Amino acid sequence: MRKMLRTGGLLLIMACVSAATEIQGVVADWTCTETMVRMGRKKALRQNRACSLMKNFKRAAYGLITDDKKFYRLDDPGNQHILELLANTPDKDNLKVVVSGDIQGNTIKVINITML
């Protein structure tokens, strides 16, 4: 009985670890995310207009900035999905999304992205 409980507990822990995480945040150019977290998004956008996605939203990589000032890089499929969302939204500097995926370091292996 104890062995079965230990095995069941181990399986439960493994299932929780591999479950996808949902993170809510604002999309930004990956090269600007650290500055935006440190200075604040609005101030960083005023001081470095190259960080703005309004005129040129096609970037090599995108990041996600959370309300608690964490930032994550999106994987290649996530970048492609964000590019499609940005093409169809008028306020590109304030695109808020929920990303479902697995976090590996500071990168999110994206499963799904939805707009808020």
Let me know if residue 12 belongs to a domain: no
Let me know if residue 24 belongs to a domain: yes
Domain enclosing residue 83, as ranges? 18-115
pTM for the complete prediction?
0.82
Let me know if residue 111 belongs to a domain: yes
Query: What is the reported pLDDT for 75?
Result: 98
Query: What is the reported pLDDT for 71?
Result: 97
Query: What is the reported pLDDT for 83?
Result: 98
Let me know if residue 47 belongs to a domain: yes
CB 106 within 8 A of CB 69: no
Let me know if residue 8 belongs to a domain: no
- Give how many domains the chain has, as a whole number: 1
Let me know if residue 5 belongs to a domain: no
Q: pLDDT tens digits for 91-104?
A: 999 999 999 999 99
- What are the residue ranges in the chain where pLDDT is below 50? 10, 12, 15-16
What is the DSSP secondary-structure string of the chain? -HHHHHHHHHHHHHHHHHS-EEEEEEEEEGGGHHHHHHH-HHHHHHH-GGG--SS----S-EEEE-TTS-EEEE-HHHHHHHHHHHHT-S-GGG-EEEEEEEEETTEEEEEEEEE-
